[in-house]
Structure 1
């Protein structure tokens, strides 16, 4: 340094702040979306946290979009209406404080359709496809997050499976829309039937439950119920099952998960359909005056829809208490894992039933078809059931104490519907105050991500303990 030259004063560590390495990291941190999907090199977000934060950001964006001029018919949607609708669409639930056919413009209905589609196929799938189109590399953490989003175990070939998922979803929805348009074009006109067919094909396959028929409800003729019910059924099977079934004719044997899922789904469908048919055919039943084939078709459609789809072929408030209890049970169980639906899932039910059966027979572990289930799966299933019951009971209690003169049955039905991302309602949604709406929003958000995802995102995983403690028994039963 030359004599007489005084170096400029810099705060301690300024050279670190001005280094190229820090500049690149500061740019990375300045973009929250990039940080979410590509991660901070120092502390990358774990996969469950990425799912939670990603869905939260989408809810915020969806709320802001629904507040734009030209979305609401007449006055713009209020903030709570926009938040409730965005969360319900992105969680593919269907509960709503507005009537989409009356309170949204055509542009608003298109936006609602896009939110349903993003929520159905999974925002991680959409994000990965966008980044691939932009030529960005998909990191291992993003692949693991995508596995969690799709409910898969093995991250191998996940990007190829993602492309298959998008192609399969598109083909199924287009096929359903074509069938609905052919059937509805004479009823609603060829032009209007196009958008109605596309909207309801997407809503049915994604198990969303939104419809554009307003107070009159969805068409309940046999062909409409068959098409919508088939889309709901396929969407509720789950991506691994659909992938297995597509490769089955070429000599690939379906996995144990696929076989168990198909058995459980068929048992639930028949149990719910026959149970509702019986309950609504007895004196006081809402379907008693209809012919038995129409009655049977409505009962089975409602059984399919109750497992997280949310279309009401029968006014729910007109059902007998026995049918409403049956619907609540079906909603709580929900659809298959890695599907468009929610609930505790058929996988949880199957694992717990197999564990109970194995315990009753004195077996060392749950067994089926010559295979033993990992004890960790039983613990996960028990955790999902326990946390789910806690969430449903807590939310029901909070609504009961904040909504005076409200009865238990409609409140419990509403909470289970939100938790299972189903969308069926006895009409209590319109009676929710601001606190109740925000609580249902949180329950729908929780239900879309699942109990384990939320718990893992909130809790810090502890390392394997180096010390084991002596065992001691406590009384059970």
Structure 2
């Protein structure tokens, strides 16, 4: 990653940019006009909510639908949109509207923001991102609005429809249903479940993948990255759906009371949402232990690189699995779709995964100290959800102490920027060593 003389490097600018957006959002949410009681949120709660929205997480210390006025909800929705697409994408949008040229520095920032490998065609990609986002959110909003109109006044249905479409496409998980219910009332509704699952999946596969799929009719070619994202997404979704259906089939607090169709829809939604949307149609606190561990695993992986989602990313996971398989089978090269994976990519995957693991472990340990009286899995679940910018919770979030809230704020922020920034930081041009040390042998396993 290049740094232009006299300017901060792109990772620092991105970090400062996100901090600025979060602080502005927090200040707006402290205003009396933002809450129904006319008092505004305390600064800590406002900071938590703003961070959760900007980092497209969805963890909430107060219920969104019951606490905020339309002004407060629109502030949250704006933060979700800016955080999901990246503030640099929006800055580019305004520059293009004004007919301004995007400088080299701006292109480098966009490359970092979108986790792209090159600045070539980066402005064209941004234009497509804006078009894809508008089209998908509008179609999703219309479908959900029509469905919600059967349950509420048409004006409220339109507002709810577009709010939930934008929230779920950006993998945020904020909802307006009230009483921390999320989308549980629609657990067996095929229109809501399938629409929101599609929104989450499209937001999670990444804009580079969507762009390649759009061009496929002309190029008839997909990159290794796109093939890995699509195949891994399919495997994780189908596998998780089957496992959740199996684990929860006899659970009288989740799937057991539902029809067979409802059981499938409930399992599918709960398999998709940990990738990292955060809304739910099954009560998380009532899920069985195997399902909770499976969800923790899915939240840690996350979705595609260059998407609105968090986690270590499914491409990272796929590279690690392929590396392990090549070692087990005695192959020298790591191969995916008949392409050799570079050692540099493997090292990046290991670095991101280890960094993420250490973060989750440390935050889990600290939560177990500051938030006493809960099962250990609640701390692990909360820490992983925050890191993966998922937003699912077993009920611990509203009960967090001030120290616990600060910990989760930091984890959400690190989860949104950490792996991305680490990946590009280690991609900088390495300085050659003046000499090489002798080889050392270490026994592994």
Q: Answer whether contact 1:46 1:141 (CA < 8 A) is retained.
A: no
Give the one of 118, 133, 145 matched to 1:169: 133
Q: Could you tell me how far apart the structure 1 residues matched to 2:327 and 2:75 are? A: 50
2:306 paired residue number: 338
1:11-410 aligned within 5 A: 42-74=5-37, 75-215=39-179, 216-218=181-183, 219-220=186-187, 221-282=189-250, 286-410=254-378
Judge conservation of contact 2:303–2:313 (CA < 8 Å) in 1: yes
**2: CA distance, partners of 1:454 / 1:82:** 28
1:368 CA drift (Å): 2.4
> 361-370 or 207-216: which moved more?
361-370
Q: How does 1:431-450 map to 2 (within 5 A)?
A: 431-450=399-418
Secondary structure of the residue aligned to 1:469 is coil
1:86 and 1:459 map into 2 onto residues whose CA distance is 30
* 1:290-313, Cα deviation, whole Å (9 max, x unpaired): 212110111011100111101110
Q: Is the 8 A contact 1:52 1:457 kept in 2?
A: no
Q: CA deviation at 1:138?
A: 2.7
Q: Is contact 2:255-2:263 (8 Å) kept?
A: yes
**1:214 aligns to what SS in structure 2?**
coil
Q: Distance in 1 between matches of 2:151 and 2:76?
A: 24
Counterparts of 1:416 and 1:121 in 2: how far apart (Å)? 22
Between the aligned partners of 2:172 and 2:251, the Cα distance in structure 1 is 33
For 1:416 and 1:78, locate their aligned partners in 2 and report how far apart those are by CA, in whole Å.
Answer: 26
Q: Structure 1 residue 255: deviation in Å?
A: 1.1
Moved more, 50-59 or 278-287: 278-287
Residue by residue over 1:195-233, the C-alpha shift from the partner in whole angstroms, topping out at 9 and shown as x without a partner, is: 101100001100100000012432221211111111111
Give 5+ residue unaligned stretches, structure 1.
1-38
Give the total of aligned pairs. 438
User: What per-residue deviation string (whole Å, max 9, x for no partner) do you get for residues 7-32 of structure 1?
Assistant: xxxxxxxxxxxxxxxxxxxxxxxxxx
Please state how far the C-alpha of 1:102 moved relative to its aligned partner.
1.1
Q: Is the 2:89–2:110 contact (alpha carbons within 8 Å) kept by the matching residues of 1?
A: yes
Distance 1:282 1:69, change over 3 A: closer
How does the TM-score come out when normalised to structure 1?
A: 0.88
Cα distance in 2 between the residues matched to 1:197 and 1:460? 43
Please tell me whether the aligned partners of residues 34 and 68 of structure 2 are also in contact (alpha carbons under 8 angstroms): yes
SS at match of 1:187: coil
Cα deviation, 1:55-81, whole Å, max 9, x if unaligned, reads: 111111111121223011212110011
Tell me which residue corresponds to 1:26. none
Structure 1 position 331, deviation (Å): 0.6
Equivalent residue for 1:417?
385
SS of equivalent to 1:70: helix
Contact 1:284 1:320 in 2 (8 A): no
Matched, 1:466 2:403: no
Q: TM-score, normalised by structure 2?
A: 0.94
CA distance in structure 1 between the aligned counterparts of 2:406 and 2:191, rounded to whole angstroms: 38
Q: Distance in 1 between matches of 2:7 and 2:19?
A: 18
Partner of 1:12: none
Contact 1:196 1:212 in 2 (8 A): yes
Name the SS for the 1:463 alignment partner. coil
Query: Measured at CA, do residues 250 and 379 of structure 1 come closer, stay the same or move farther in structure 2, by a change above 3 Å?
Result: same
Q: Which whole-Å deviations, capped at 9, do the CAs of 1:30-55 have from their partners, x for residues lacking one?
A: xxxxxxxxx9x753111111111111
Structure 2 unmatched runs, 5+ = none
Which runs of at least 4 in structure 1 moved beyond 3 Å after TM superposition? 131-137, 282-285, 454-462
Equivalent-residue separation in structure 1 for 2:118 and 2:182 (angstroms): 42
> 1:474 Cα deviation (Å)?
1.2
Larger radius of gyration: 1
After superposition, the CA RMSD in angstroms is 1.9
Q: Tell me how far apart the structure 2 counterparts of residues 267 and 235 of structure 1 sit (CA, whole Å).
A: 17
**Distance in structure 2 (CA, Å) of the matches to 1:471 and 1:213:** 61
Say which SS state the counterpart of residue 236 (structure 1) adopts.
Answer: helix
Superposed displacement of residue 115, structure 1: 0.8
**Residue-by-residue CA offset, 1:102-145 (whole Å, 9 max, x unaligned):** 11101111111111111111111012222343454433232122
C-alpha distance in structure 2 between counterparts of 1:329 and 1:238, whole Å: 20
